[in-house]
Each structure stands twice: as C-alpha cells, then as structure tokens.
Chain A
Amino acid sequence: MILKLAWRNIWRSKRRTAITLGMIIFAVVLSTLTMSIKEGMYENMIKSTAGDFSGYAQVHLKDFWVEKTLDYAFEVDQKMVSTIEAEKNIDGYLPRVEGFALAAMYNITKGTAVLGIDVEKEKTFTKLNERVVEGEYLLPDDESILIGSGLAKYLKIGVNDTLVLIGGGYQGRSAVGKYHIKGIVKFGSPELSKQLVFLPMKAASTFFATDGLVTSIILKTGSSDKGIAAAKHLQKNLGDEYEAMNWKELNPELVNMIETDKVEGYVFMFILYLVISFGIFGTMLMMLAERKHEFGVLVAVGMKRVKLALMVWGEILILSILGSILGLICAFPVCYTFFVKPVRYGEEVAKMAEEYGIEAVIKTSLAPGIFIEQAVIVGLIASVIAIYPFLKLLKINAVNEMRS
C-alpha cells in the first residue's frame, strides 16, 4: 500500500521527478566519468610500461627474477607448451633468453642486456619491428643484432657497424661474439634504450651456449587483469619449479605509483561526492518545502506519521534506484566517446610523454566495474540522504504545515 502510494506520487508530479532523477543521473555520470578517466590513465601507464614490452605476465624458473643469471635457463618442452596453450586468457607466448654482456667499441665499453628473441613472434606480439628507427628488422637466421638508440648514441656506432659482445654464458661458459648491427630500435623508456641488444634466438643460443634453452616466457594477454589471472592459473599448473609472475610483481614501482595516486584520487572523489550529495540534499529539501501543504493534509485526515515518512522514503528510494540505473546507462555513451576519441594533451606535454613511451592522451576506461561501483555509491548516497526527510516527517505538525 505504502509502496503503491509512493509509486503513484512519483508519477503525479513529473517535473519534480524529472529534476530529482536528473540530479541523480547526473551525479552517476559525473563520478563515473571521473573514475573512468583515472582508470584509463592507469591502463595507459600499465600498457606502456609493462604490457607492450615485458608482457602482463612472464614465466621463469623459480628465483630467476631475483638472481637474473643464465643458469636459470630452462627448456620449453611439450608439457610447458600445452600447459600454456591450455590457459584461455593467453593469446600467445614469446620465449626469450636474457643475459648480460659488455658491449665494446674502440675504447668505450658499456654493460648491456642481451635478449635472444623469437624474431617472427616478436613481430606479431610486441611489434618490435615497428620500433626500428634505422636499418632493418632481424631475420630468424641472421647473425646480426638490433641495438637500442641510446646505446648506439653512447657507443657512437650505427647501422652496419660491428659490435663486440663479451659476457658470461650458460653454466660459467664465456660468451664472446662479433655481430653486425642491422638496425636501431627506439624505446619509450631511456633506460631500455640505453642497454638493450637483440639477437635472433638461434644466434643467442650459440652466443650464450644455451642450446635452445630460454630464461623467460613472455605471455601475451588481452588485458592487465587477464595477465594476473593467467599467471595465477599457470603457477598452479606448472608447479613450484617455475614462477609465473604478473605485471604487478614484475613492476613493483609502477604498482606503488598507481596505489599512491589512487589514494589521492579518493580524496578528490570524496570532495566530488560531497558536492553531489548536497545537490541531492538540496533537491530533497525543495521537495519537502514544496509539499508541505500536501503532507499537512494527509496527517490531518489521519495518516500515521510513520506511514507518511515511509511513503516519502520509498519514493526517494525508488528514484535513487531508477536514477542509478539510468545514470549507468547514460554514463556509458559519455565514457565511450572519450574512449574512442581520447583527449590529447597539449603539444609540449604530449612530446614529453611520447618520449617516455606513454601515449599522450587522456583516455577513459570502460571496465564495467567502475560503472556499477559508481552507480551503487551514488544510489547509496541518495538513500542515506533520504533519512533526513524521513526524520523530518516523523515530527510533522499538521496545522502548521497546512497554514504555510
């Protein structure tokens, strides 16, 4: 009965309903957009720092990540391949053998990270070929290398020069080689550019004496979340001998940065919720003031105050739920617009961001969690605020209200 009255009241005054609903819908859209922008920024950061090159997840032999020596090389056997392929979150995998070597040119030497790569697979999954800024990309049988642009600059060498690499190979063997530089690759991060050397897997096998063994398997997944799920499943299926790490474990500093930023974001969201809450509160106050006469009459003709209060509370509850759902529906196209057409930073910032390998755009995230979360939060805020009219109506004085 009370609910029925509430429902009818909502449709009795369409204007009032429209305004209240509008406020709630707008609140949901705004807070969702804000959150979506933030999450989008993180996704962008994660993608450019972790995803593009080192993958959202990797598999190594246990302890490789800490020790980082070639002695932790392992064979990619049939069992490993089928375990990885059985994992539905993984779109593909890339074997790499990672070691260290000194690169020498005339009298300059520099420590480098030497990566043996599967030339064809890198092309599909990490688009390494598109990073070549000078010279050409590798072929699987090449005895040549690609080097980072920062390294080339430091050693003062270019395409078609020859570089001597001296390092440690598998199980204490020494690794020495002379390689023709076929191309120069540029990475967003100056750190990577300064120290990377790429060799085709076959040549790397000879250089490090690893004989086809690899140190890491980069797992390519559709999103960062899938990377986490994939690493978790693989860890279970591969056993303790291996370590399947997700991007969070691989990039603890990035995670730190995001976590810090999130807390700052909460403070801002709190301020935004406060403004929104007051918008909703104001709308309710106006509603109460406007319907004084009506409430007075209802109490005068014998309606219990509790019932009256419940009825109004029900009205607001219905409106909150309706508003949250509608807000959710309206928020989607707004966020989608910024997802397809991201806002670009100003020229100067854009240039710097790109130097860092971060896409210089503000792009929203369309993760469904954000939408639902914000709709629920705003809905809750509205229902909590509804306690005010509820309490107010419990103490209503019929005569005074009707007189006004």
Chain B
Amino acid sequence: MLLVKIAWKNIWRNKVRSFVVITAISLGLWAGVFGSAFVQGMMKSKVEDVIQTEMSHIQIHVPKFRDEYDGSLYMKNGSEIADALRAKDQVEAVSERMISMGGLASSRKNGMIKLVGVNPADEKHVSDIYTKVIEGSYFESKKKRPIILSEKTAEEYGIKMNSKIIFKMLDVDGQMTDIAFKVVGIYNSGNPMYDKMTAFVKLDQMRQGFGIETGSNEIAVWLNDHNQSETIAHDFQDKYSDLEVLPWMDLSPGMRMMIEAFDVYLYIIVGIILVALLFSIVNTMLMAVLERVREIGMLMAIGMTKNRVFKIIMYETVFMTMIGAPIGLLLSGLTVGYFGKNGIDLSGAAYEAQGFGSTVFPYLDIESYINVTIMVLFMAVLAAVYPALKALSLKPVEAIRKI
C-alpha cells in the first residue's frame, strides 16, 4: 500500500512528465479508436450503399440465370415464392423482378442494357433507387409504357425525357421482340458502372415482352436485420433447393474479398498505431526513469529493494494509464460521435466516380471499441516494463554520484 501511495505522489511531483505520458496514452487510444472507426465507417457506408441501391439483402434466381441473363431461366411460381417469403418474420419486404439483357438503339448509339421490370410499390421497399430520380418521377406519370433511364445512359444515347425508345429483347422461347417505351424519369445512383447498364420498366410490361403471364427471374428480399443475411439465405437455400439463394456478399464477386481484405487492413492500421504508441511511451518513460537516476539510487541506498522500485514504476504507469484512458475514450467518443453525425468530407477523392458518397461517417461497434481499448492499455503498461527494468540495473552508489 505504501508503494501505491509513493507511486501516486510521484505522479504529481513532476507534472510535465506525467502530462506527457498521460497525453501519449490518451492520444494513442484516440488514434486507435478513431483510425479503426474511420476504416470501419468507410467500409460500412460502401456496403450499405451497395445493399440499399443495388443488391438488397438476398436475391433468388434460377441457377445459372446470372451468368448470361437467359430469359428462359425464370421462376414460373415467382409470385408464390414471393408471398411465402413475405409471410416470414425476418423478412421486411420482397420484390419480384423480370430482367432482360437486350439491345437499346438510338440515333447516336447501339448497345446492350439491362432492363429491370419492377413493381414500383414493392420495389421501393428493397431499393432506394426511387430516391435518386433527378428528373421526372418514379413511375408516377400516367404514361402507358414508362421507362426510367440513368442520366448516363440518356446522355450516351442522346435520349431526352418523354422521348420514345425501342428495346430489343429475346422472349422466353428465344424469339426476338421489340417493345417501345417512353422515358418518364431519369436517375443517377452515383455509381456509373451500375448506371451504365441499368434501366427500369414496369413488371407486367416486362412479362409481356417475355411472353409470359406470371413468374419472375429475380426476387429481391429485404430483411429486418442485415447481419442475418447469410444465415437466412442459407435457410432459404435449403427450402428452395432447386433455386439459387444468395446473400448480398455473394452477389458481386469482388464483395466478399473486399470485406475480408478490409479486415486485414484494419489489423494493420491498429497494429501500426499501437507500435507508434508503444514507442512513444517507452521513450517518455525511459527518459523519466533515467532522469530520476539520482532519486532512485537514493531510494536503493536507503534500503528499498529492486523489486519495490520496479513495482513503484509499474504502479505509476498503471495510474497514468488509468487517468489517460478515460480522457482518450472521452475524446474518441466525442470525435467519433461528432464526425459520425456530420461526416468527414473527402470530396477531393474520386469517390463519386466509383459510386460512393464522398463523405465518410466513422463508426465503431462496441466490440471493436473494447478490443482497441484493451490493446492500447495493455501496450501502455507493457511499454513501462523496459524502462522499469533499466532502473533496476542501476547501482545505488554510481547512481547517486551522477550529478
């Protein structure tokens, strides 16, 4: 107990030294937390953007449909499946789609485009595309055969609002058909890769084009909890074994890799910050110990054992860590909270071109918060071991002799 008291008093005896160590610890903690939050927030918003606009949580197709968008591969009982899914507790919304990869021609350009037939009322619950309409409206007009194009497609093909376009597609039997549409809306999702390919029409008109009455070739599912996507997709897959049920991370081939690679990246970042912190504390403590050579020598000379000297120094570190940690946590809580709400604007970057918003909202889950904190505190205490050991190697007489 005496040692604890001495250590506590020592901290306040030399305020500059303690201030440096305490600040190093709180700053290190802040850096660890904020750095991780930044990376995690970035990842989260990228993933959420993709889920909300393009993928929804789970998609169901006939196997191989996704390879080439072959029109004959559709679910004849699509509506029944959709209704069955809607009845489930975990499912919030379901939207049936009929998709065709076909030719779009204008006076300026001939090209391929992915035409997605949707039921607007259902679709609004699984994709936020309707919020990204910049001209016209999302199927609110009374026009007979409405189509919504991306701004990019409209520009590329030289198509304006209200103009008529012809879409060439193959029906379920492989026969070529033409359908005419009128442009009622223009959207911009922010992701040019997606925009370049995708346009929307009404589901029943798409079915007509395919020459069928019912059925769909894609069912998009929105869940209550997005973390459950993988397990629920798995359950559905067991139930509909002749279909292909995929969670969002498997819908795009690069997605899973991106997520995994980000985890690795996060470890590297936290690792580097921890090493930087370790070194800056070792340094300060080393200086603090060596500065006190005379004092420590004196303590040893009047009979304090090495063991006790070591303990004093360690106690001091633990105390300073205990003071620094809450400050650091408070600081990180405030900054992550503030930027989490207001975002960090990185509009200098080419984000938009890649389809992501240019603002990053840092975010850290409780688990990582705790992990980072424990790691930083552990590092701080670890950092004191070397300087403390160094103090032990002092010989009392020589130590006192020094200035």
Contact = CB atoms under 8 A, between A and B. Distances in A.
Contacts of B107: none
B24 A282 contact: yes
Contacts of B20: 282, 285-286
A349 B257 CA distance: 6
B221 to A, nearest CB: 25
A276 interface: yes
Interface string A9-33: 0000001100100110011001001
A94 to B, nearest CB: 28
Contacts of B303: none
B257 A356 contact: yes
B244 to A, nearest CB: 16
Contacts of A256: 350, 353-354
Interface string B267-292: 01100110111011001101110110
Interface string A281-292: 011011111100
Q: Which 9 A-B pairs have the closest CB atoms?
A: A279-B280, A263-B349, A282-B20, A352-B257, A349-B260, A259-B350, A286-B287, A289-B16, A256-B350
Nearest to B253: A190
A271 interface: yes
Given A260-B351, A268-B35, A282-B20, A26 B346 contact: no
Contacts of A346: 260, 264
A348 B27 contact: no
Contacts of A268: 35, 38-39, 269
B253 A278 contact: no
Given A274-B31, A349-B261, A352-B257, A282 B23 contact: yes
Contact of B276 (A30, A255, A260, A353): A30
A267 B344 contact: yes
B353 to A, nearest CB: 5
Contact of B272 (A34, A255, A267, A362): A34
A30 B280 CA distance: 12
B169 to A, nearest CB: 16
A362 B264 CA distance: 10
B68 interface: yes
Nearest to A27: B276
Contacts of B348: 263
B14 interface: yes
A388 interface: no
A346 B348 CA distance: 33
- Of the candidates B276, B284, B286, the one having the most CB atoms from chain A within 10 angstroms of its own CB is B276
Nearest to B26: A278
A289 B287 CA distance: 11
A30 B354 contact: no
B222 interface: no
A23 B287 CA distance: 12
Interface in A337-375: 345-346, 348-349, 352-353, 356, 362
B67 A154 contact: yes
A107 to B, nearest CB: 8
Contacts of A362: 264, 268
Contacts of A356: 253-254, 257
A278 B353 CA distance: 37
A345 B261 contact: yes
A37 interface: yes
Interface in B364-391: none
Contacts of A286: 16-17, 20, 284, 287-288, 291
A206 to B, nearest CB: 28
A15 B291 CA distance: 10
A272 interface: yes
Given A286-B17, A286-B288, A23 B280 contact: yes
Interface string A241-285: 000000000000101110110111001100110111011001101
B167 interface: no
B34 to A, nearest CB: 6
- Of the candidates B67, B261, B280, B286, the one having the most CB atoms from chain A within 10 angstroms of its own CB is B280
Given A37-B268, A276-B276, 7 more contacts: A15-B290, A256-B350, A264-B42, A274-B27, A282-B23, A290-B287, A349-B261
